[in-house]
Structure 1
């Protein structure tokens, strides 16, 4: 196992933990808020949709991950 594999595994373990889920949600919220400030509230629906899609792919939402992958 190489250094990159080890780092990837540690990152996956963190993202699949409750702390990782909280941190990823915080970062996604900040990114969504920044995007809304930049592009305006008229694009808020699209931004929220993209934020939710990203949230389903990141973190410990394993049921949501399966649902997204099946589409």
Structure 2
């Protein structure tokens, strides 16, 4: 079992929290770098959310 599979197992059922954490971390990085790498950060956030199964668009309301 790969490390990514283990991580996915740990995070299963917490997709909304994963997305919020990813967004918060990306925003903090953007703030520290003055948005110099904003497009790269956005791409990384999207890839992380896709890999972890929380690739819901930002504007879509949370699932209940």
TM-score, with normalisation over the residues of structure 1?
A: 0.57
TM-score, with normalisation over the residues of structure 2?
A: 0.62
Identify the structure with the greater helix proportion: 1
Structure 1, unpaired ranges of 5+ = 1-7, 62-71
Q: Which of these two proteins has the greater Rg computed from alpha carbons? A: 1
Large movers: runs of 4+ above 3 Å = none
Q: How does 1:1-71 map to 2 (within 5 A)?
A: 8=6, 12=9, 15-17=11-13, 20-59=14-53
* Match in the other structure for 2:62: none
Is the contact made by 1:32 and 1:47 (CA closer than 8 Å) also made in structure 2? yes
Structure 2, unpaired ranges of 5+ = 1-5, 56-64
Q: Number of aligned pairs? A: 50
Q: 1:45 to 1:59 in 2, by over 3 A?
A: same
